[in-house]
Structures are given as structure tokens and as C-alpha cells.
Amino acid sequence: MSIYQFAKSIALLAGQRIREELSQELIIETKSNPNDLVTNMDKATEAFLVSQINEQYPDHRIIGEEGHGQDVTDTEGYLWVIDPIDGTLNFVHQQQNFAISIGIFYNGEKYAGVIYDVMNDKLYHAEAGHGAYLNDQQLPALKDTKLVTSIISMNPNWLTKERTRDMYVPIVQAARSSRSYGSAALDFAYVALGIIDSYITLRLHPWDFSGGLIIAEEVGAVVSNQLGEKLDPLHSNSILVANPGLHQELLNDYLGPYRSRLSEIHQGQFSNR
Ligand code: IPD
Ligand code: CA
Ligand code: CA
Ligand code: CA
């Protein structure tokens, strides 16, 4: 079994475990603030994925949101970047609309991405250079859209923040419509699927975007931060993902005028870059 096949198989297994245990009472804790939740299921799922990877590939390294991986500071060899439950708030409140996300890199280069929409049993996956799939259906290349006929996804938190409101409100106003799904991994998957045209957010961690980055780029999406710079699997960043035409329109016409403010925000937010 290839590493790619193995990644898909453990995502499916982990999802099955979540579905089976959904009726059990959750133990919910808070992390950085009262709305930043983690459950025993996030932790158990990450522990399961990490133990499977360690057993099969003891020399591979792992970054995981809940800390079961290692403290990784370089991209040598195989690197797995995993989010056991992306969309924990949806998981807690809705028991749906969450995903398992896995991105795998080899010497810093994209190798494969897997996003498993657990409750809908939809597996988005891609091996770099070989196209992206939803289950066994290959996804077509994205077509360019204009903002005026696009649906974009944006977290209302950024839209209402004093510091970012004037940057983002014109985008929402000019778009055909906007959505907020509460799972960054699913946002990437939906851009890859072409059901939304762009996902724009100001702060994601590597486990939020690594799987999605690899899948979305396989259908021709452009993935960058909001300054147009490349993402890397070791650092948090802002996100602008869209089909090429829309990515350029958003970067040039909407975010470009705020470049100096965005640079400042990046320096403050991601000072460890
Ligand atoms: C969160 C989700 C959410 C995004 C947050 C992430 P988590 O991940 O992806 O959509 O807006 O920035 O932290 O904590 O549920 O894995
Ligand atoms: Ca979290
Ligand atoms: Ca996440
Ligand atoms: Ca998570």
C-alpha cells in the first residue's frame, strides 16, 4: 500500500470510530478562550492517527493540533500535518460539518492531501501531480470566475473586527453571496469542488490548511496568503484560495490597497515566521 493509500485508509477508519462513538457523552474543555473548545474525541482521534502512522512509518514525523505529534522545526523527510477534527465547534454543536484533515509533505514538497467529511462519508483526496478526487470521482479543473458572480466563504469574525472590517466588507458586498461553514478543511474542499469560488481567512494553522492546500492546487486553485505569498507547512498564515482569475482579482483590486496594513498584521500575528 502506498503512503497515499494508507493516509486515506486511516482517515476512513478514524471517521468510522467517530461515527460509532457519537452517542457517547463528550468531555469538553476550553483552550485559549471560552469559545476555543477541544473534546476527548479530538484527542482520541489524533492519538489514533498518530499511533497508526508511527506503527507503519516510524521514521515519518507528525505535526498535530492536539500535540500528539512532535515539535517539528524543519521539513526533512516525510511530514504529516494532521487535524483530527477540523470544525470542533460544529462537531460539538451540530454533530456534523466537521472533517479529518491530513497533509503529507516530502522534503517540504507536497505529497498528498486527504480531507474526510465524516458524517457525509465524503473523502476528498489528492496525490500531488495526479489530480484531486471526491471518493472515486476525479474533480474537474476550476474555471475562472469574476467576484460579481462568485460565492465566497469568509468567517464573520474577521468581517466584524475593527481592524479588518473595511478590507473585507467590500469583498462581501461585491460578491454574489457569501457563506461561512466553520471548517477550514471543508472550505478548501468546497473551493476544489467548485461549489464556492474563494475562501478568505486571516489566520489558519498548518493543520487547518495543509490537506486542503494540496487538494485545491490539484484542480488549479491558487493558494496563497493575503499578500500573495506561498504557504508552508510549518507556519500559520492568512489564506486566500480561489480559482486563478478570482484570486488575481481579489489580490489586486481588494487586498492590494491594504498591503501595508496586511503586512503589519502578518508581522504581528505571525512573528515567528
Ligand atoms: C477551526 C476551523 C474554523 C476556522 C478556525 C480553525 P478547529 O479549526 O477550521 O473554520 O475558522 O480558524 O481554528 O479548531 O475546529 O480544528
Ligand atoms: Ca481547535
Ligand atoms: Ca482546524
Ligand atoms: Ca481541530
pLDDT above 80 for 193: yes
- What atom of ligand 1 comes closest to residue 184's alpha carbon? 9
* Sheet strands side by side (includes 198-204): 177-179, 151-154, 198-204, 237-242, 222-224
* Fold exhibited by the domain 3-138: Fructose-1,6-Bisphosphatase; Chain A, domain 1 (3.30.540)
Q: How confident is the model at residue 239 (pLDDT cuts 50, 70, 90)?
A: very high
46 lines ligand 1 (CB under 6 A): no
- Find out whether 175 and 151 touch, Cβ atoms under 8 Å: yes
pLDDT above 70 for 271: no
- Mean pLDDT estimate for the chain: 96
So what's the ipTM on this one?
A: 0.98
212 lines ligand 1 (CB under 6 A): no
Residue minimizing CA distance to atom 16 of ligand 1: 86
DSSP 8-class letter at 141: P
Residue minimizing CA distance to atom 13 of ligand 1: 204
Q: Outline where the chain has alpha helix (H).
A: 3-20, 40-56, 88-94, 156-160, 165-174, 184-193, 206-218, 244-249, 259-269
pLDDT at 268: 82
pLDDT above 90 for 215: yes
pLDDT at 270: 74
| Length of the chain (residues) | 273
pLDDT above 70 for 10: yes
Tell me the best of 183, 209, 270 to mutate to test the pocket of ligand 1, counting ligand atoms within 8 Å of each CB and taking the most: 183
DSSP 8-class letter at 77: S
Looking at the CA of 201, which ligand is closest? 1
Q: What is the pLDDT of residues 104-135, one digit of tens each?
A: 999 999 999 999 999 999 999 999 999 999 99
Q: How far apart are CA 73 and CA 209, in angstroms?
A: 18
Which triple of cell numbers denotes residue 219?
484542480
Which CATH number is correct for 147-269, 3.40.220.10, 3.40.630.30, 3.30.70.100, 3.40.190.80? Answer: 3.40.190.80
pLDDT at 112: 98
pLDDT at 269: 81
Q: What is the pLDDT of residues 19-43, one digit of tens each?
A: 999 999 999 999 999 999 999 999 9
Q: How far apart are CA 93 and CA 171, in angstroms?
A: 29
Binding residues: 65, 83, 85-86, 208
User: Taking Cα atoms as reference points, which of 168, 178, 176, 145 lies closest to residue 239?
Assistant: 168
Q: How far apart are CA 80 and CA 70, in angstroms?
A: 10
User: Taking Cα atoms as reference points, which of 80, 40, 75 lies closest to residue 62?
Assistant: 80
Looking at the CA of 84, which ligand is closest? 4
Mean pLDDT of 3-14: 98
226 lines ligand 1 (CB under 6 A): no
How far separated are the first and last CA of the chain, in Å rounded?
36
| Burial class of residue 159, CB neighbours in 10 A (0-12, 13-18, 19+) | middle
Of residues 79 and 68, which shows the higher confidence score? 79
Binding residues for Mg(2+): 65, 83, 85-86, 208
For residue 233, report the distance from its CA to the centre of ligand 3, in Å.
14
User: Taking Cα atoms as reference points, which of 219, 256, 242 lies closest to residue 147?
Assistant: 242
Of residues 269 and 66, which shows the higher confidence score? 66
223 lines ligand 1 (CB under 6 A): no
% residues pLDDT > 90 (the chain): 96
127 lines ligand 1 (CB under 6 A): no
Q: How far apart are CA 207 and CA 66, in angstroms?
A: 10
Looking at the CA of 184, which ligand is closest? 1
Q: What is the pLDDT of residues 145-184, one digit of tens each?
A: 999 999 999 999 999 999 999 999 999 999 999 999 999 9
204 lines ligand 1 (CB under 6 A): yes
Q: How far is CA 86 from CA 48, 72, 91, 150, in A?
A: 16, 21, 9, 25
pLDDT at 273: 45
Q: Domain-by-domain residue ranges, the chain?
A: 3-138, 147-269
For residue 38, report the distance from its CA to the centre of ligand 2, in Å.
6
pLDDT at 24: 92
